[in-house]
């Protein structure tokens, strides 16, 4: 187990600088165009694949970094480049985490390569959990998975929403209800292979921000999956459901939930993305305040502006520290006894939203125009207090964890 450190080693610094170069030279020049087009930026993702940035090998190397800092460091630099393009490049990761968290070794080896493809044939994946009436309230999920014992097949029916890469992905990972009587405890995750009949894209959403990231509904109409597409396998599912039924009968503790296990593992990663957006906006505001003159002096000479920048930088550094702590804890196998993963996502998301608003204020009228990137950054940051657990849900998770009380 690596000791916690706040200093990147030489290899990590090299990777960081490499990603930063891609973000500065490829992502930033293309960001405004793809934001306006609101289309999946295949050329940018393909270029990332060409240099090895969008690949299973790269993310595996960062995921298994013994310090835990590989993934958050990479996320911060990519999202410093642009959040919409960053999500297009990293959106497959949530589905990959779903397989890593819930799948067998054989399933991991089978499906992860198909999620990324290779430089000559780029693929993407989608994680499908939220539904029209079940977002933060995962217990309200209605998508059903029924086991056809005679054929050892699972039949999935329902509609998923807010799915990143939904409908255009090569591989979809779908969370569905297998035992309605158990609420959130009765869920399981399934891999839907490419070309499976019955899966289709529904509505594609036109969003306030992160417009280069494809977000859509996924409709499942009699989707038939072979038994091996159940992540973890039938025996493991049966054991887990039996334990859950016994705990329900005796009023015992909560058990594993497939969707929440995926989100909990990804929260520090999402926090790192928010840090990248906040840092980018802060840097634009700092440069503007130093070079823009009003009343015969640089704007930063005014305490009202200088103090805002001081607060912005302080919040960004604090958010990064929370993200790094949670990432290190997860890699070191230390339990989140105070919901440290949720803390990092909560604080970083709120920081991104606040810092981008402050940056726009410092730029004044220019900040409100599309000639400067802070307008786009502000729109992009808004989602970080909403998706993968709203700020309110994060606070609920933290409160329940520190109090051991089922707060509602």
* Interatomic CA distance for residues 157 and 223, integer angstroms: 7
pLDDT of residue 258: 57
State residue 253 phi and psi, 5-degree precision.
-70, 165
CA dihedral 253, 254, 255, 260 (to 10 degrees): -160
* CA neighbor of 199 nearest in space, from 227, 176, 178: 176
Confidence of residue 260 (pLDDT cuts 50, 70, 90): low
* Interatomic CA distance for residues 10 and 46, integer angstroms: 28
pLDDT of residue 179: 95
Structure tokens at 21: 């170069």
Residues 204-224 have a mean pLDDT of 98
Query: What's the whole-number average pLDDT of the chain?
Result: 94
pLDDT of residue 263: 60
Query: Under a CB-based contact definition with an 8 Å cutoff, are residues 119 and 318 in contact?
Result: no
Question: Coil, strand or helix: which one is 252?
Answer: coil
Ordered by where they begin, the domains of the chain are 10-122 (1.10.540.10), 125-250 (2.40.110.10), 258-403 (1.20.140.10)
CA dihedral 365, 370, 374, 380 (to 10 degrees): 130
* Interatomic CA distance for residues 92 and 117, integer angstroms: 11
The answer on pLDDT for 189 being more than 90 is: yes
With a CB cutoff of 8 Å and minimum separation 6, the contacts of 60 are: none
Q: Catalytic amino acids?
A: 388
* Interatomic CA distance for residues 246 and 323, integer angstroms: 36
Residues 20-41 have a mean pLDDT of 98
Query: Under a CB-based contact definition with an 8 Å cutoff, are residues 182 and 244 in contact?
Result: yes
pLDDT digits (tens, 9 = 90+) for 47-100: 999 999 999 999 999 989 999 999 999 999 999 999 999 999 999 999 999 999
The string of DSSP codes covering 351-385 is HHHHHHHHHHHHHGGGGGSTTSTHHHHHHHHGGGG
pLDDT digits (tens, 9 = 90+) for 217-256: 999 999 999 999 999 999 999 999 999 888 877 766 554 5
Full-model pTM: 0.93
What's the per-residue H, E or C state across 262-297?
HHHHHHHHHHHHHHHHHHHHHHHHHHHHHHCEECCE
* Interatomic CA distance for residues 269 and 392, integer angstroms: 19
Residues 128-142 have a mean pLDDT of 85
* Interatomic CA distance for residues 130 and 380, integer angstroms: 20
């Amino acid at each position: 187990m690596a000791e916690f450190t706040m200093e990147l080693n030489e290899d990590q610094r090299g990777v960081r600088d490499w990603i930063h170069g891609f973000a500065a030279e490829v992502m930033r020049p293309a960001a405004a165009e793809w934001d306006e087009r609101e289309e999946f930026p295949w050329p940018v993702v393909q270029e990332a694949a060409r240099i090895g940035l969008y690949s299973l090998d790269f993310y595996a190397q960062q995921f298994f970094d013994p310090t835990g800092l590989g993934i958050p460091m990479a996320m911060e630099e990519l999202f410093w480049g642009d959040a919409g393009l960053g999500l297009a490049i990293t959106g497959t990761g949530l589905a990959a985490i779903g397989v890593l968290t819930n799948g067998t070794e054989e399933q991991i080896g089978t499906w992860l390569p198909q999620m990324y493809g290779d430089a000559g044939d780029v693929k993407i994946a989608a994680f499908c959990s939220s539904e029209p009436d079940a977002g933060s309230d995962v217990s309200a999920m209605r998508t059903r998975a029924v086991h056809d014992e005679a054929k050892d097949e699972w039949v999935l029916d329902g509609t998923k929403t807010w799915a990143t890469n939904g409908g255009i992905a090569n591989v979809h990972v779908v969370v569905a209800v297998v035992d309605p009587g158990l609420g959130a405890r009765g869920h399981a995750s399934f891999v839907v292979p490419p070309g499976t009949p019955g899966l289709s894209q529904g509505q594609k959403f036109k969003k306030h921000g992160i417009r280069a990231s494809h977000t859509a509904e996924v409709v499942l109409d009699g989707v038939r999956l072979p038994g091996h597409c159940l992540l973890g396998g039938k025996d493991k599912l049966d054991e887990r459901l039996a334990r859950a039924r016994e705990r329900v009968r005796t009023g015992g503790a909560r058990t594993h939930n497939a969707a929440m296990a995926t989100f909990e593992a990804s929260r520090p990663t999402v926090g790192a993305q928010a840090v990248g957006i906040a840092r980018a906006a802060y840097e634009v505001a700092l440069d503007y305040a130093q070079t823009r003159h009003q009343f015969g002096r640089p704007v930063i000479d005014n305490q009202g502006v200088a103090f805002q920048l001081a607060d912005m930088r302080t919040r960004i550094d604090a958010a990064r520290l929370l993200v790094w702590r949670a990432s290190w804890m997860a890699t070191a196998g230390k339990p989140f006894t105070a919901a440290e993963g949720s803390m990092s996502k909560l604080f970083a998301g709120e920081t991104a939203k606040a810092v981008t608003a402050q940056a726009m204020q410092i730029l004044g009228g220019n900040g409100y125009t599309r000639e400067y990137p802070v307008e786009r950054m502000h729109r992009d940051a808004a989602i970080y207090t909403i998706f993968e657990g709203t700020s309110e849900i994060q606070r609920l998770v933290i409160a329940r964890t520190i109090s051991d009380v089922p707060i509602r």
